[in-house]
Structure 1
Amino acid sequence: MPAVRPSPSMPLDAVGVDGPERPPGSGERARVARPWWREPVHSWPYLPKWLLVGAVIGAVAGLGALALHESLALVTDGVLGRLAGFSPATVAGDGHAAPASGIARPWAVPALVAGGAVFGAVVVRRLAPEAGGAGTDAAIKAIHHEPLRMRGRVPVVKLVASALTLGSGGSGGTEGPAAQISAAFGSVSARTFGLGAADARVAATASLAAGVGAIFKAPFGGVVLGMELLYRRGVAPEMLVPGLIATAVAYGEFAAVRGFGPMFGHQAADPTTLAQVPFLLGLGMLVGLVARCYCWSLRNAKALFDAQSRIPWPVKPAVGGLAVGALGLLLPEILGTGYGVAQSTLDAGWLLGAPLWILLALPAAKIVGTALTVGSGGTAGTFGPTIVIGAAAGAACWRLAEMSGAPVEGPEAFVVAGMAACLGSAAHVPLTAVITAAEVTGTLDHLIPTMISVAAASVVMGERTLFPSQLPEPGRRLEGVGGQVVEVGGYRVL
């Protein structure tokens, strides 16, 4: 009978080699398996690994969101409040909703906006050039291409530059800075725990979702954002559990300091009637067109400033800031983040008392202001302004419908549906937009209106996107010039 020969995967003492099996305990001493918690974190079982990593990145992302919020409030009060005598509108989630004040020293506004943009651009250029611009698209690109290589200095640089730009009156949002700050935290944490590229991609995305969900006080919206944001079509289900853990921790931290109430307060609405459906569909289609104009304006404003190679780089944000400041003298509502303006549009008394031309001009003015701020080299988010632009468009539509005697009730449904439609279509995050709309208003009353308008806006938006670094869909292979591709984590990306 031929002898049993060992396979490469079998230990020698497990079989007889030209002879009988060795007795138990003979040969090389058997290894005793160590408990999993004594192994490196990257080799832990799935749930314990992400409970630890998710809690850590969520805690750091929550602190980053708090630092950004407080820094922005401090700079806004010190620059616009004390030097220009202007107080932007505030949201209910900050303790008290109040409309914007008048401007005591109008002559100072253009200089302050330009100065903040220049100082922010200098900080970015000298310390971390990758922290410039909007932030969210840069975070998406880094997550797809180099999730383990985001530098630890990026969060600090982004925080300082964003506070300077937005706090001095530059037009933009806080979610872009929060996204890049948090994603960089996630990348650094992944390196600290020794995670591989695939897990680092999940950690950076979960951290991004936690930061955005915390600063908007929309934790579940943040979780779904992490699943939707990387692709124009489809979702990344592997982001669900890490995102839930990280966002819960980040939101708990942020809300413990800033309060657990919804961002815009509780905004109840009357039940949606069949007669309102055509108006909501029309609003969604209109907002879809507005979102396309917004994306076009951002892209072309950046291309225009980039093409001026003979102009010294510090002059570009100065020119953009001067233009935004001058526009702000005409429409102060565009200065800063504008979230307080979205809050004001939920008030029927404010809408009926505002001149009609302001309501009609506000969406276009916010688009122009944000395009000038970001395109000229300022550091501000482009995701958050979609909320303001959509809310203003919804408010204008409600005012026109109310004037015509159409069967509409209060403005809440139109305003919330407008902000969700603009956000969901521009960023290709429809489910995030519907959920976030419910969370920032503290009610499910707007669920049906937002679903109708977001669906219509998404159809009009088509394949255009606010974030060019989004891949078409999970697993999609893209070819570059001459068919050249780069393999990254199982996906082929440009």
Structure 2
Amino acid sequence: MRELRLSIVWSRRVLTEVCLASLIGLLIGVITTAYGLVFNYLSTAVETYLKNFTLVIALSTLLLLTSYVLVRSSSFRSGSVLEDFLLTYHFRGGYVSIKDLALILIASLATVSAGGSVGVAGIAVFTGYALAKYLVDRLGIIYDRKYYSIVGAVAGISAVFKAPLTGMAFSLEMPFKRGIEVSYLLPSLASALTAYVVSKLFFGGRELLEFIKPKTYALTYSLILHSIMIGFLAVLTVFMAYTLKYSLRFIKVKFLAKYPYTIPLVASSTIIFTFTTVPEVLGSGYSLIPKLLEIEEYGALISISLIKLILTLLILEFGGAGGIFVPLLISGAALGAAYGRLLNLPYVDLLMMAGIAGVFSAGNKVLLTSVLLAAESGGLIAVIPAGISAAIAYSLSVYTSI
């Protein structure tokens, strides 16, 4: 009888957690998807004014200055919302004010409107985390508040990526780097599925990587070998990005701190320069993803992979705000495509998925998430090359992350 009573008590708690997680998924799914639509609309609008060089100079300077002021007005000092999320979770007791959230959300819209290379997924994660924390505080839940905040973060990434399993895996890996937290599994899955259903049914839209649908190829030694090579290239890419990130931070603190309002001018100057060289990497990059398979010149793909990542890091360090998830995906996809085009291989689409998984895994320390993202986006055929590349990149990148 005692075991039965314990089972009933445990079942009630699990049911309560799942119901609350579903409610969080519903609310966060609506809010983050709506925000994502506005974000992507502004990113697309960038392509309109990019035709006018004078307008590019004026808007990029004004909007990045606005973003810089908004970020400095918050309690954060970094424009990378994923970094803000991790610092909040581990070192601030999980607390984030609604004012800070509002400032970061507006700053991110200003950044992408300026042509800044930032993504919306990290913003969705941070928004889901903060709003879920606010909700459980208002409901008077006194236990596991950070637990439900992670459930909110899961809903955010599930709604934006339209990949519920990826969102669930994210909750197990991302906040803990090389650790994993299985107790979040069931409520995270409930939250991710609810957010996905809400996003898909009420707002529509395609999955983020739906455009990369690998054809069916036989598993060969050649494919395995090339997937291994892409894993190594992903590690080198992430190490380069990591070194650049902290070099930029050093330059900002050492040389520009005395003249703070010169900082966003550096970012806007970079956008203006990029406009004259590789304008397709400006903005979030959603419209760029389906075009990568059509580019046959490997030099152009290498340029996109490197410049997209460099521009994102520079924007986030010098006044902009936003996420780094989507830029990482684009950089990885372009890396895999460039490798395939260089060697004239027939399965470029699979190598793109391997590049995505490798860079994403090394850059965020999320092995399982990277593989599931490839599986949900590219189907089971993408799992082997993506898994090989992700495992190598994850292992060799040690504790380096961006």
Name the counterpart of 1:396: 338
Q: 2:295 aligns with which of 329, 351, 363?
A: 351
1:224 aligns with 2:163: no
- Give the alignment's TM-score, normalised by structure 2: 0.91
Name the counterpart of 1:294: 241
Deviation of residue 114 (structure 1)?
A: 2.7
State the Cα RMSD in Å.
2.3
For 1:296 and 1:331, locate their aligned partners in 2 and report how far apart those are by CA, in whole Å: 23
- Give the alignment's TM-score, normalised by structure 1: 0.75
Deviation of residue 225 (structure 1)?
A: 0.2
Give the 3 Å change call, closer, same or farther, for CA 206–105 of structure 1 in structure 2. Answer: same
Q: 1:456 aligns with which of 375, 392, 400?
A: 392
- Is the 8 Å Cα contact of residues 44 and 283 (structure 2) preserved in structure 1? no
For 1:272 and 1:228, locate their aligned partners in 2 and report how far apart those are by CA, in whole Å: 29
For 1:367 and 1:308, locate their aligned partners in 2 and report how far apart those are by CA, in whole Å: 23
Q: 1:178 aligns with which of 106, 124, 128?
A: 124
Deviation of residue 148 (structure 1)?
A: 5.1
- Is the 8 Å Cα contact of residues 40 and 284 (structure 2) preserved in structure 1? no
Name the counterpart of 1:120: 67
SS at match of 1:445: helix
Deviation of residue 321 (structure 1)?
A: 1.9
SS at match of 1:171: coil
Give 1:310-459 correspondences, 5 Å limit.
310-345=257-292, 347=293, 350-352=294-296, 355-402=297-344, 408-441=345-378, 443-459=379-395
Amino acid at match of 1:426: G
Which has the higher Rg, Structure 1 or Structure 2? 1
For 1:325 and 1:428, locate their aligned partners in 2 and report how far apart those are by CA, in whole Å: 33
Name the counterpart of 2:33: 66
More helix by share: 2
Amino acid at match of 2:60: V
For 1:260 and 1:383, locate their aligned partners in 2 and report how far apart those are by CA, in whole Å: 19
Amino acid at match of 1:66: T
SS at match of 1:272: coil
Give 5+ residue unaligned stretches, structure 1.
1-35, 38-42, 85-103, 403-407, 467-494
SS at match of 2:185: helix
Q: 2:114 aligns with which of 163, 168, 173?
A: 168
Name the counterpart of 2:197: 252
Give 1:87-106 correspondences, 5 Å limit.
104-106=51-53
Q: Return 222-231 or 259-268, whichever deviates more.
A: 259-268
Give 5+ residue unaligned stretches, structure 2.
1-7
Give the 3 Å change call, closer, same or farther, for CA 223–202 of structure 1 in structure 2. Answer: same
SS at match of 1:264: coil
- Is the 8 Å Cα contact of residues 175 and 381 (structure 1) preserved in structure 2? yes
Amino acid at match of 2:269: L
Q: Which has the higher contact order (CA 8 A, sep 6+)?
A: 2
Deviation of residue 309 (structure 1)?
A: 4.8
Number of residues paired by the alignment? Answer: 393
For 2:250 and 2:269, locate their aligned partners in 1 and report how far apart those are by CA, in whole Å: 19
For 2:246 and 2:325, locate their aligned partners in 1 and report how far apart those are by CA, in whole Å: 14
Amino acid at match of 1:362: I
Q: Return 198-207 or 259-268, whichever deviates more.
A: 259-268
